[in-house]
Structure 1
């Protein structure tokens, strides 16, 4: 390796790893709100990697992870981005898609769910209908709550909060019938007791899963909820190691693991999470709110993991800035699936002029307050 370079583009942090053979690998960090910190970690890890053989991926993973045992999203996002880029290089070196190096394809396409957003209930209902019209057989990032402006102080009675969420899911189900799976996104907005009440109320509408019903800080709280409801729980997007996933799995606290390939240790880490889940017949739904680099890396997992279930597919990959950042070999087929490309590496390349086309947009620290002035989770 001759160079490891962080690239802050729009709201994303990509990483380029270059070699003396002319091969260049591309990866992405999932640190999300703290990309500048993750970029600093990329530079530090890059100083170790320059001059090393890029094909020794597992060795480098272990060296970077165990050299200090300081983790967290900024560091693990950096390690993940580098890992993805190294797999990209290895695939190009052997002239094979990365999934071929992971054991080969177990499926030829990946079922996907589309994102649904809206600031009003009607916009969300219309979004579910539009996703169905676009061919999706599952819709996600679908909240039973409204994502109101952070500047607006929050207040609802307990009854309004619970009954409003239940009625929202009713409207989504009635809008599309049983031909679309509903992936209900709570976004960590409920306490354990609230989560149980909401889940029991929406059970009759048969959501495919309820995602992140409570904060990810305590595996025992997730287990408490899982033990009392009859809807599968999907969680794990904020976790940064296989050991955190193991704590959830050993507690039967998750039925669909949601590893973020750009945060959990790259393709190397996500493949290990999938294996842990497979041993318990738990499905894999990779988390993916980022750029097409993340999608391309996720598809290597989708192609090679037997217990893959569904792929999150963010909106806007045919729009600025995503289409101006990378050239991609995969696509949406219009019938609910993503194609799995057969090109070497992960199947994306950085477009010429991408850095100039998509200048960085720093994350602003903000959150919402209750009417009493305290912080709430939204």
Structure 2
């Protein structure tokens, strides 16, 4: 079997652009992947065309060999765009390997260690407690979710006194706990918007009395000693990792004792191959893995197969999609879990190529925050 061609399709999932990639072979077996849109969106197709020249004519089932080759042809470590491109190639190759073997990808990873994959739903805002009850109850009734993620910010964190925001956060979570079912789990994503570590610690203390599922990414990821300091002083599970790129960065975080839960993104770190190395390092530090997954149906399918085979997997982020017409049969939660598809080879998801013929691109860009004094900040 040899790689013969690749195609890219700029599409969207709900209100975000998504680049889909198809790799074809001379045996009419093809594989699919979904690329992370770090932006600029249109930078990825020419980059993928360049990388494709490194693997055309090769056996696609030699996934580790080909991904290693792509890394080694880069004189310097690839950044966000380079790793997004390598990740989507990795995914498509695993899809081909599974289809060629007639097996689900998770069977090629050593087989499933669990029968289904737990998911949580990102709400991403801080709705009034009564609205949060209504929203989470609907998600529970429809999909069986019992775990959710909220924002800890009830207002602009740069407007007004910080201590007042902290108090409001504690009061808010207390009220949410009071009126929602006791078995519901609530995580809080601070979205790396806090600059001072002591403020991250104060916010964690406001959440602690009400048992958060985890406290995600209060500060930026770059300075590992700050994560060690925060983790040593908080009483809640600390999670981070969506902005880290490879096993070496995660090794630094874990050896510093900087997290209880890591959140690598399988579309960012280089694909399944690198994701498994990262997870193994975490396992050796008694740390669990909750993959970052704000993506579409294809990326979710890849995550499900990784999670099925990974012993220290904890929970997968997944928000149901409203608009992704190219995904014929996406994975959808049942009883708060994704069911495995043992009778389907590859990632077990069908792509409607007819739907991809229609231009469905939507432009999106991240907006920065402006502080009251006019300075910029992370959104």
Question: TM-score, normalization: structure 2?
Answer: 0.92
Between 122-131 and 14-23, report the one with greater CA deviation.
122-131
| Residue 35 of structure 2 is aligned to residue 29 of structure 1 | yes
- Seen in structure 2, the aligned counterparts of structure 1 residues 305 and 174 have a Cα distance that, compared at 3 Å, is same
- Seen in structure 2, the aligned counterparts of structure 1 residues 365 and 306 have a Cα distance that, compared at 3 Å, is closer
Between 169-178 and 304-313, report the one with greater CA deviation.
169-178
- Seen in structure 2, the aligned counterparts of structure 1 residues 27 and 339 have a Cα distance that, compared at 3 Å, is same
Unaligned segments of structure 1, at least 5 residues: none
| Residue 167 of structure 2 is aligned to residue 163 of structure 1 | yes
Q: Show the 5 A alignment for 1:55-94.
A: 55-68=61-74, 69-94=76-101
Cα contact 2:126–2:151 (8 A) shared by 1: no
| Residue 247 of structure 2 is aligned to residue 242 of structure 1 | yes
Cα contact 1:234–1:258 (8 A) shared by 2: yes
- CA displacement at 1:225 relative to structure 2: 0.8
Q: Determine the structure 2 residue equivalent to 1:38.
A: 44
- CA displacement at 1:40 relative to structure 2: 2.8
Q: Determine the structure 2 residue equivalent to 1:178.
A: 182
Distance 2:127 2:263 in 1: 27
Distance 2:88 2:202 in 1: 39
| Residue 149 of structure 2 is aligned to residue 131 of structure 1 | no
Distance 1:162 1:263 in 2: 32
Classify the secondary structure of the residue corresponding to 1:328.
coil
Classify the secondary structure of the residue corresponding to 2:363.
coil
- CA displacement at 1:357 relative to structure 2: 4.0
Cα contact 1:27–1:293 (8 A) shared by 2: yes
Cα contact 1:143–1:185 (8 A) shared by 2: yes
Between 101-110 and 232-241, report the one with greater CA deviation.
232-241
Cα contact 1:109–1:303 (8 A) shared by 2: yes
Cα contact 1:144–1:165 (8 A) shared by 2: yes
| Residue 276 of structure 2 is aligned to residue 275 of structure 1 | no
- CA displacement at 1:231 relative to structure 2: 0.8
Q: How many residues align?
A: 368
| Residue 107 of structure 2 is aligned to residue 106 of structure 1 | no
Classify the secondary structure of the residue corresponding to 2:281.
helix
| Residue 307 of structure 2 is aligned to residue 340 of structure 1 | no
Classify the secondary structure of the residue corresponding to 1:48.
coil
- Seen in structure 2, the aligned counterparts of structure 1 residues 212 and 117 have a Cα distance that, compared at 3 Å, is closer
Distance 2:347 2:260 in 1: 28
Classify the secondary structure of the residue corresponding to 2:23.
strand
Distance 2:133 2:80 in 1: 34
| Residue 17 of structure 2 is aligned to residue 18 of structure 1 | no
Q: Determine the structure 2 residue equivalent to 1:374.
A: 375
Superposed CA offset, 1:352-378 (max 9, x none): 323244522223352110111011222
Give the root-mean-square deviation of aligned CA atoms.
1.9
Q: Determine the structure 2 residue equivalent to 1:212.
A: 217
- CA displacement at 1:20 relative to structure 2: 0.8
Superposed CA offset, 1:35-82 (max 9, x none): 322333212111211111111111111111121233111110000000
Unaligned segments of structure 2, at least 5 residues: none
| Residue 331 of structure 2 is aligned to residue 330 of structure 1 | yes
Cα contact 2:297–2:330 (8 A) shared by 1: no
Distance 1:101 1:138 in 2: 29
Classify the secondary structure of the residue corresponding to 1:32.
coil
- CA displacement at 1:228 relative to structure 2: 0.7
